[in-house]
């Protein structure tokens, strides 16, 4: 394995690469068309109160696209559901569900760089996970490494054996990777800290004017001045500032003006940070990605779960080698305590943050979303078709829901994560 030299990846718990190559460098998303994502959808019926449409978008963040679509239809954005959150600077297609909307209403909607195709109806709304997976066709440009072809072949062999199944940088925010820190503060019921982080923390890749405004707000708490300075496009921050102008110091209320799904994503991002960090701690200890140790949790192909013991350790290793099961880490929530070999690392991280199961329970009441905890495989395995085309490399592969294409790309590129967003 190889350590990442990049501070941002270290901050987000993504400290290792699986392969030892130096990387081909390069840049993702030179154009939106360089990052193509096609959702593998669930089956669609022909009856029910939910209209199912195929949404194809270019250079749109999903939450903003849904909000604008709801505005054009004159409905609450809460009536629109989807199975997965897709990349912003990309061309993506996915299914969405709309409650009590007709095809005629959809036909009247016109949005730049968005197309909508009615596919059918359903008795139930789409929710996170309502998809079979995603197909990716990604072009990497501006290559900088040596022996590109040799490195591609080396890494492609590794992708079939298994890569660290990290949550990608975009899980934490693209230009401003801070969603996990906002989630941490919500879990601690530090609502003022959550608001000040979301509105007031600036990052180098933002326009200087926006960074200056964020700094001023962080230092002065002057919501009116910040609202005057922030551009109209920052609709979430502006909504929070409007609330603070009308109800000063009501930071909890300011957070509640955000869409519930966005609030839920903050807390989930903190769980993702826990997973990334615990996985890297495992590698710190010298344990290989396919090496079971007593206490590890296993997920089998049929969904059965089991623990590794001293007695079954050798058998578990054979099952993993033959692809019958995979090692997983449990991301804690409100119902089940931390468990498994990596549980002690997560417990230590939670103790450092002063967070326990009760905090997740309180967050459920605040966000109106459940955080029970979940198992996630530590290894991402997928066949990759990697083609060198003159001065660029093209990667084609398919991933299950919740897995990140940039986790595959970073293994080939080994470059500054800001060149992958």
Q: Which residues are catalytic?
A: 87
How would DSSP label each residue in 346-361?
HHHHHHHHT--HHHHH
Give 412's contacts (C-beta < 8 A, 6+ positions apart): 23, 24, 26, 140, 151, 152, 155, 386, 393, 395
- Buried/exposed 162-197: b ≥16 CB within 10 Å, e otherwise: bbbbbbbbbbbbbebbbbbbbbbbbbbeebebbbbb
Distance from C-alpha of 180 to C-alpha of 407, rounded to nearest angstrom: 18
Distance from C-alpha of 98 to C-alpha of 20, rounded to nearest angstrom: 47
CA 306-309-314 angle, 5° bins: 95
Task: Tell me how long the chain is.
Answer: 421
Q: For the chain, how far is it from start to end, CA to CA, in angstroms?
A: 24
Token pair for residue 91? Answer: 């061309």
Instruction: Decide: helix, strand or coil at residue 16.
Output: strand
CA 131-411-14 angle, 5° bins: 80
């Amino acid at each position: 394995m190889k350590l990442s030299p990049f501070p941002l990846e270290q901050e987000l718990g993504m400290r290792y690469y699986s392969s030892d190559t130096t990387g081909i460098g390069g840049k993702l998303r030179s154009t939106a068309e360089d990052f193509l994502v096609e959702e593998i959808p669930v089956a669609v019926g022909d009856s029910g109160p939910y209209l199912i449409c195929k949404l194809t978008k270019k250079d749109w963040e999903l939450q903003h696209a849904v909000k604008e679509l709801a505005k054009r239809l004159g409905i609450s954005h809460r009536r629109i559901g989807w199975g997965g959150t897709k990349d912003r600077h990309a061309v993506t297609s996915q299914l969405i569900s709309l409650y009590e909307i007709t095809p005629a209403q959809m036909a009247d909607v016109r949005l730049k760089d968005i197309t909508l195709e009615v596919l059918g109806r359903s008795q139930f709304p789409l929710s996170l996970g309502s998809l079979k997976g995603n197909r990716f066709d990604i072009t990497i440009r501006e290559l900088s490494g040596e022996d590109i072809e040799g490195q591609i072949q080396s890494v492609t062999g590794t992708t079939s054996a298994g890569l660290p199944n990290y949550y990608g940088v975009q899980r934490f925010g693209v230009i401003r990777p801070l969603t996990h820190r906002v989630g941490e503060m919500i879990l601690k019921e530090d609502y003022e800290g959550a608001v000040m982080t979301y509105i007031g923390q600036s990052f180098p890749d933002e326009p200087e004017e926006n960074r200056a405004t964020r700094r001023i707000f962080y230092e002065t708490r002057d919501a009116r001045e910040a609202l005057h300075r922030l551009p109209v496009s920052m609709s979430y921050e502006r909504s929070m500032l409007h609330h603070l102008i009308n109800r000063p110091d009501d930071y909890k209320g300011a957070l509640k003006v955000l869409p519930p799904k966005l609030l839920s994503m903050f807390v989930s991002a903190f769980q993702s940070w826990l997973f990334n960090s615990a996985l890297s701690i495992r590698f710190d200890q010298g344990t290989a990605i396919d090496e079971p140790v007593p206490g590890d949790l296993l997920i089998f192909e049929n969904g059965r779960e089991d623990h590794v013991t001293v007695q079954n350790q050798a058998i578990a290793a054979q099952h993993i080698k033959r692809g019958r099961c995979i090692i997983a880490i449990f991301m804690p929530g409100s119902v089940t305590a931390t468990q498994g070999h990596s549980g002690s690392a997560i417990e230590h991280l939670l103790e450092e943050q002063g967070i326990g199961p009760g905090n997740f329970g309180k967050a459920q009441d605040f966000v109106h979303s459940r955080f029970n905890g979940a198992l996630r495989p530590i290894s991402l395995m997928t066949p990759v078709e990697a083609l060198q085309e003159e001065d660029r490399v093209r990667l084609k592969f398919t991933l299950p829901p919740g897995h990140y294409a940039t986790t595959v790309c970073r293994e080939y590129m080994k470059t500054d994560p800001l060149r992958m967003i």
